[in-house]
Structure 1
Amino acid sequence: MSGVFLLVGLCLGAIGAMLMVPSARSTAPLVADAASGTATMSVEAKTGESLPSEGPAPSPQPSPPPSEPGKSDPGKPVAVELKAITELVPGGQVSVVVYDRTAKKNLISLQPDRSYTSASLVKILIALDALQAGTSTASVQRMLSMSDDNLASALWSTHGGASIVTRWATKIGLTGTRPPEDPGRWGDTRITAADIGRIYRYVMDQVGPGTRSIIMRALSGATESGADGIRQYFGIPDATGAIPWSVKQGWSCCRGARILHTSGVVGKDDRYIVVVLTSQPTSTTYASGGRQVTAAVRALLPALTGA
């Protein structure tokens, strides 16, 4: 039995000696893998280099919280290069207004008084007039959310045509909005980015809660394709991602230009009014023109997020 105990003792001694020998790889520190967020073993130190001493890892510094979409830092300067925005619409014209309803001021204003044909943006005025006259909610909401031209034409004719524009321009105080030269072509109403911004401010701050709710429900429920099959998520919807939006889009062609407009309210509590109007060459397709409008809205995002 004594021989057995001797053999066991020798084995245990050898194992203990092995455990006391440090491994060169085991002394390499753990480093953070920035790409994956996991801990990985660092490469071995080159010959002659001293290995860092082991010890408790330093406490990680807390990262600043990310900017909440639609919430800017009050007073923080935001750089938006207006010249770069104009270059996003080659061969065309672009006007921009971004209004902060909390600060009650324009954050961005690019060619705000340039005149454009309205395309379907005039439907907001048609909706205001129709709701005031007692038109059914369903008709007004479909006209807005699906940009239904047939409904717009019917309501335009029923409620006085060009006089709708005149009435509401006077009531809201629109300085650059004019009825179309051809009274039957409501989409040829003349508008400016400044006036479209004023229309949204009127809807958000002055109309009765019932009318506001009907209009804003329609705009927040805008369908991806309009009643005519044109995709209407260019501009604000495609550019803003998870930021809440309610939009009225406009598009038309080809009476001298291809018109593509995006407009609406963006952000938590409908904080920002965003208007981007464009007039593009008729050779531009709806798809490529829409991408240009989306790029213009993306360029505005620093003003909407404070980033």
Structure 2
Amino acid sequence: MGKVSGVFLLVGLCLGAILAMVLIPRSRPGPAAVAAAADTVITLEAEPEQAESPPPLSSAVPGSPPRSVDTKALPGLVPGGQVSVVVYDRTAKKTTVSVKADRSYTSASLVKLLIALEALQAGAPASTVQRMLSASDDDIASRLWTAHGGPAIVTRWATKIGLGGTRPPEDPGRWGDTRITAADVAKIYRYLLDQAGPGTRTTIMRALSGATESGSDGVRQYFGIPDAVGSLRWSIKQGWACCRGSRILHSSGTVGEDDRHIVVVLTSQPVSTTYPGAGRRVSEVVKALRPAIDGL
């Protein structure tokens, strides 16, 4: 009987183990699983459920229509001054924002875009042109302006590109007094990106994407587009001048992959406004344009 009982006991243990394997659902041991010795009971904690990955952060509610730019609010962001805006979507091939696009402003350093086009066409060193643009170097601009025809530069390129509101300065020596409009500045970028030769385009866009934080005169030039678009790619040509009746601050360039959006913000602000204060106002205008730039 002792041997028979031992056999039954062994069979019973085997059947119990088989039933446990069938009835207990399989699961991988969690981090707190305890592996005991072979002659003790092994206790396994159930694996904790994986938390679902949070959805990507976005200010837009899924299924809701995209936000639009409140163009009526833009003038209020530049109290006591004037503001003009153009946003052009190169993928959609259309202007998505336009506010006072034909209003005339003093160009300040934005005319350097035309000086660069002329100088490169005439064979000026690419490194010289890039320095003029990236650091907004006035001395280089003055040398190139004088060497390549002065006011005639503006006249030639206005005719070539079709800039209806762009005029050379009344004083031939003051290139920064060239008159421009936001619509015309957007056209300059469209010409540069879609029609200019590849060498010219590469030279100029490399300079604009590598713009230094401060210009050669020490003024911080990351107001507007750089301060407002976060991690989006940008290339810029900024302009600032004071104080013949107003303080001029302009931010222009491209934003997004493949230079998708052309963004132009021109402002004329009270002389009593400091450069940092005026720059913050331009940045607020660009922030208000974000729905047209990235759909936020």
Counterpart of 2:254, as a letter, is V
Match runs of 1:62-211 below 5 Å: 64-66=55-57, 77-211=66-200
Does 2:244 align with 1:260? no
What is aligned with 1:270? 259
CA contact (8 A) 1:98 1:273 kept: yes
- Asked if the contact 2:66/2:291 (under 8 Å) is kept, the reply is no
Shift of 1:65: 3.8
Q: CA deviation at 1:61?
A: 6.9
SS in 1 for 2:97: strand
Q: CA deviation at 1:64?
A: 4.5
CA distance in 1, matches of 2:103, 2:66: 26
One-letter code aligned to 1:256: G
Equivalent AA in structure 2 for residue 208 of structure 1? G
Q: Name the larger-Rg structure.
A: 2
1:58 Cα shift?
9.8
Distance 1:112 1:67 in 2: 31
Q: Is the 8 A contact 1:67 1:305 kept in 2?
A: no
C-alpha distance in 1 between matches for 2:90 and 2:113? 19
Q: Are 1:250 and 2:230 an aligned pair?
A: no
Residue ranges of structure 2 left out of the alignment (5+ in a row):
1-47
Distance 2:66 2:166 in 1: 32
- Structure 2 counterpart SS, 1:279: strand
Aligned-pair distance for 1:60?
Answer: 6.7
Counterpart Cα distance in 2 of 1:65 and 1:101 = 26
1:251 alignment partner, SS class: strand
Aligned residues: 247
Q: Structure 1: how far apart are the matches of 2:149 and 2:288? A: 39
User: CA RMSD for the aligned pairs?
Assistant: 2.1
Report the Cα distance in structure 1 between the residues aligned to 2:160 and 2:53, rounded to whole angstroms: 53
Q: Which deviates more, 104-113 or 59-68?
A: 59-68
Provide the secondary structure at the position in 1 that maps to 2:235.
strand
8 Å Cα contact 1:126-1:155 kept in structure 2: yes
Contact 1:95–1:111 at 8 Å: present in 2 too? yes
Does residue 218 of structure 1 match 2:207? yes
Counterpart-to-counterpart distance in 1, 2:76 and 2:132: 33
Deviation at 1:261, TM superposition (A): 0.1
Deviations 1:143-184 (A, max 9, x none): 000000000000000000000000000000001000001111
Which residue of 1 is the match for residue 22 of structure 2? none
**Cα distance in 2, alignment partners of residues 66 and 151 from structure 1:** 45
Matched, 1:295 2:284: yes
Secondary structure of 2:149's match?
Answer: coil
Per-residue deviation, 1:78? 3.4
List alignment gaps of at least 5 residues for structure 1: 1-56
SS in 2 for 1:150: helix
TM-score with structure 2 setting the length = 0.80
TM-score scaled by length of structure 1: 0.77
Secondary structure, aligned partner of 2:237:
strand
| Percent of aligned pairs with the same amino acid | 70
Asked whether the equivalents of residues 119 and 144 of structure 2 are also in contact (C-alpha less than 8 Å), the reply is yes
User: How far does residue 79 in structure 1 lie from its aligned partner after superposition?
Assistant: 1.3
Q: Distance in 2 between matches of 1:67 and 1:182?
A: 50
Q: Per the alignment, in what secondary structure is the counterpart of residue 253 of structure 2?
A: strand
Q: Note the C-alpha offset of 1:303.
A: 1.2
Once the 2 structures are TM-superposed, how far is the Cα of residue 306 of structure 1 from its aligned partner? 1.0
The alpha-carbon deviation at position 108 of structure 1 amounts to 0.4
CA contact 1:249–1:263 (8 Å) conserved in 2: yes
Alpha-carbon shift at residue 302 of structure 1 (Å): 1.3
